[in-house]
A and B are shown apart, each in its own frame.
Chain A
């Protein structure tokens, strides 16, 4: 893959919530980057820290109880974590848009749809009121809302779920941001609507050149639209690479587990799907070694004692698993001679 411009770089991000039972380490040392015009998928099961990571980028997590323990989030070279509120506000909506998981509750019930879209332009002097309305109507058409003049004046409760999610996407896109973050945008919608929304996102990327961060637990969604994928588990990245690498050269038992737990086109009739047994680790007291160790069929003693090292398998493909170590037995996951990064 050609080297594209990195728009967003997340380096060694650590984000923690303080609660009565102690600190929940929701994001533990996560690093990845987002490039111009690509679709980056972040995949993992519930509670793996993917949403928290995404919300960190716009600092949408409540602080307190949450706080950054370390790391950097560079947007076009500037560290978001060092910005004051005013500077962050200029990034939100304008530079980076956010589409939330649940369109039913994410729109203000007492405001008209049009006004909610136009709000993104609030406080900007470079556009007139008429232009703002024009942009809003244009974006509504673009995201596939029919009869825009009428919808513009309606309230959220008059729209269907899919329509509401389109409005959410319109809000995120209206000011033509460089990045939009979609936090499970299709989870609460039914499958036909899901397909439409995904199509729409890809189309919009073509038209607007926006980078998309797609957060999901659904590998199907990832396969359909993502260029590169980050697999998260227990607040950490366990594997990342291009979509092809993740699918065809899977090099982490957790990623494999995710794939064998869903039905695919090549799943034969009578084949059993194998779920990953057990539950994710409790992030109140994360395990010392590999977070996946307890559920891993290939668990070794070293996995419980030391956090695994990062292994670069190609330019893009990285995995965090002791199975890549030179001393490890040969398994289907082995892709290297075992030199750590």
Chain B
């Protein structure tokens, strides 16, 4: 310790500024979520697959020379070839075009019904959770009762009344589909509004509107997005199921569920007719699941700042 000298031993006092410099990088919620999502390779792959499928669904039917409903006797059950990339179905319709037309239907049903459900559920759940009181009690009783009925049963009943088609499908899925989101949002909002930071804001005289915008919404939006992402595959599943049992889309329109159903009928002789739509449904589900998992981990506040 030869380098010590008297000058170093003069009392200077504390240096708060130096101490307050934070050496750790500070990330906003979304920056942190995005950082973690990008790091999650599986979720990123899922995002890419979805992107490709969406592009194909938009452009493939436009760019192809075949129409999704034009039949051709000569091409019945044609195997995949240069003319028909995915082959043809039992009445000679081009499967490539039908697959991507089906993607339009299936993806939009998934997206629309999940989005509507999320919005309706979030608004009702949010209002009930935030204001509580009589409204909350009445709505929650109703919701609890409806929650006990399997949603598929209601959906099937409504489809019987409304008839087949894309719009009836979306309506049928939305009639009870919001209940899950509603319960979850109400629970979250209820929990949040009891938290001290909301109390602090209230004490400071912040208006309800500002509290909702600044304190409640930012805290649930991550979970909502995840919820949305998880509900899309669920909706696509339901559509496929309903189409499969004959309560979905009306022919000649098609969806992935219908393609799979038609394909399964010829499973023994023309396995490619089921293999292709099956592969596409499964990869879409996989992509959505991976993305959903990634999002859930990315927005989980408990995991913030960890690997």
> Do A and B touch directly, given a CB cutoff of 8 Å in the complex?
yes
**B20, A299: Cβ atoms under 8 Å?**
no
Residues of chain A within 8 A (CB-CB) of B268 are none
- Asked whether, in the complex, the Cβ of A328 is within 8 Å of the Cβ of B307, the reply is no
In the assembled complex, the Cα of A3 lies from the Cα of B9 at a distance in Å of: 37
In the bound complex, CA of A327 to CA of B3 (Å): 13
Task: Check B14–A21 contact: CB distance below 8 A.
Answer: no
Contact mask for chain B residues 1-43; partner A; CB cutoff 8 A; 1 contact, 0 none: 1001111111111111011101111000000000000000000
A322 in contact with B9 (CB, 8 Å): yes
Interface hits, A236-294 → B, CB 8 Å: 277-279, 281-282, 284-285, 293-294
Interface residues on A, range: 20 to 34
Find the B residue at minimum CB distance from A276.
B14
CB <8 Å contact, B16 and A277 = yes
- Whether B13 and A297, one on each chain, are in contact in the complex, defined by CB atoms closer than 8 angstroms, is yes
Q: Which residues of A contact B306 (CB under 8 A)?
A: 19-20
Q: Are A284 and B23 in contact (CB under 8 A)?
A: yes
A282→B6 CA distance, assembly (Å): 30
Whether a CB of chain B sits under 8 angstroms from the CB of A223 is no
- CB of A329 within 8 Å of the partner chain: yes
Q: Which residues of B contact A284 (CB under 8 A)?
A: 23-24
- Find out whether the CB atom of A299 lies under 8 angstroms from the CB atom of B23: no
Q: With A19-B306, A328-B9 as known contacts, state yes or no: A282 contacts B14, CB within 8 Å.
A: no
A-B contact pairs, 12 of them (CB 8 A): A19-B305, A20-B307, A279-B19, A282-B24, A294-B15, A294-B16, A297-B11, A299-B13, A299-B15, A301-B9, A302-B9, A329-B10
- Given A278-B16, A295-B19 in contact, is the A301-B24 Cβ separation under 8 Å? no
Q: List A contacts of B13 (CB < 8 A).
A: 296-299
A residues with a Cβ closer than 8 A to B are 19-21, 277-279, 281-282, 284-285, 293-302, 305-306, 322, 325, 327-329, 331
Flag if B6 contacts A327 (CB, 8 Å): yes
Measured CB to CB, the closest approach of chain B to A304, in angstroms, equals 8
A21 CA to B37 CA, complexed, in Å: 16
Contact pick for B14, options A277, A285, A305, CB 8 Å: A277
Q: Using CB atoms and an 8 Å cutoff, list the residues of chain B in contact with chain A.
A: 1, 4-16, 18-20, 22-25, 305-307
A-chain residues with CB within 8 Å of residue B307 when the two chains form the complex: 19-20
Q: Shortest CB–CB separation between residue B255 and chain A, in angstroms?
A: 43
B12 lies within 8 A of A295 (CB): no
State in angstroms the CA–CA spacing of A331 and B11 once bound together. 10
CB < 8 Å: which of B7, B11, B22, B25 contacts A298? Answer: B11
Contacts of A325 in B (CB 8 A): 4, 9
Q: How far is the CB of B23 from chain A (nearest CB, A)?
A: 5
Q: How far is the CB of B9 from chain A (nearest CB, A)?
A: 5
A21-B25, A282-B22, A285-B23 known; A297-B14 Cβ under 8 A: yes
Q: In the complex, A302 Cα to B19 Cα: how many Å?
A: 16
Q: Which residues of B contact A296 (CB under 8 A)?
A: 13-14
Do B8 and A301 touch (CB < 8 A)?
yes
Give every chain A residue within 8 A of B15 (Cβ-Cβ): 293-294, 299
- Shortest A123–chain B CB gap in Å is 34
Complex Cα gap A296–B16 (Å) = 9
Minimal Cβ-Cβ distance residue in A for B8: A302
- List A contacts of B305 (CB < 8 A): 19-21
CB neighbours (8 Å) of B19 from chain A are 278-279, 281, 294-295
Q: How many Å lie between the Cα of A301 and that of B11 in the bound state?
A: 8
Task: Give Cα A305–Cα B12 distance, bound, in whole angstroms.
Answer: 14
Question: Is the Cβ of B9 less than 8 Å from the Cβ of A299?
Answer: no
